[in-house]
Amino acid sequence: MNSEYNVQVVSYTQESLIGFVAGVNGGIASVCVSQPLDTVKVKMQAFPEHYKNSWLCLKQTWFKDGLSRGLYAGTVPALMANIAENAVVFCALPFCQRMVSWAMKTGGTENLSTPHHALSGSLAGVFTAIVLCPTELVKCKMQAVHDVEKLGRIKLRASSPYQILKQILYSEGLRGLYRGFVPTLGREVIGYYFFFGGYEAARSLLTPRGQTKDDLGPLATAVAGGFGGAALWVSIFPLDSVKSRIQIGCTSSAPSTGRARPIVTGLFSTLVHIARTEGRNHTHTAPHKFAEI
């Protein structure tokens, strides 16, 4: 009995370790490839009136701020965020799959259906939101620092991840690091439900007769991952827009008039504010995010 238990523990540990290493490598690769597009996404979400389209935003950022301080602004916290997110989600996923298998009485994780995999991913999203919110906060502030100054909102003395982190802790305390946690949690829980659901559904469709999903090659697996990524971003983009607004600390992209404005920081209050002042189309700004898939 003890030997069987030890074998199970080793198996679970190996699964989590493999997921952790894969997540770290995936996070590094994701940032190296997609950071410029993520910068454009955040800028357009926070300042839609300042940039007419994605291409102009990309071009203006390139010419005015350059590569390192412009398109790759916030790379360090982005690396930390992506590494932490991917490592945590793939490390926690085996545990969540076992929990779902136990709750649904499937008789083992190998018998999980596509909705079960989606639910497992959604549960793993709870863990990623906890580690992701502070690093995403610093990243978004770094990506938008020049735009905030140009619009006359505030003069930010911080320009590095450490300085921004120090400024947040000094002015808001530890609680300030979790500004935008509710939309971050909603984004991760909903997003990973559709990601893993879409991924597993695509794998099932791509599996030839007489074979299993584990027999799929790298190309088919990549296609399934792309399908899952598309499902993720379609489902979470409105929440992601709200998160960016809250974390940057602005609810309107109009230049400052010199009057004091109350800062809207709640999820629903920010959604209502955007809907009233800019219309519902803003929440789907920057569809080029799909280029990251």
Q: Which residue ranges make up each domain of the chain? A: 2-292
Cβ-in-10-Å burial (0-12, 13-18, 19+) of 273 comes to middle
State the CB neighbour count (10 A cutoff) for residue 177: 16
Q: Which two tokens stand for residue 257?
A: 């008039």
**Which residue, 45, 143, 175, 77, is CA-closest to 156?**
143
- Determine contact, residues 246/172, Cβ cutoff 8 Å: no
**157 pLDDT tier (thresholds 50, 70, 90):** low
Q: Name the range with the highest mean pLDDT among 23-27, 72-76, 224-228.
A: 224-228
Give per-residue pLDDT as tens, 209-261. Answer: 888 888 888 899 999 999 999 999 999 988 898 888 888 876 554 444 444 34
- Check if the beta carbon of residue 195 is closer than 8 Å to that of residue 231: yes
Of 157 and 149, the structure prediction assigns the larger pLDDT to 149
Which of 270, 24, 253, 244 lies closest to 139, judged by CA? 244
pLDDT tens, 46-63? 777 777 788 888 888 888
Mean pLDDT rounded to a whole number for the chain: 79
Return the CATH architecture of domain 2-292.
Answer: Alpha/alpha barrel (1.50)
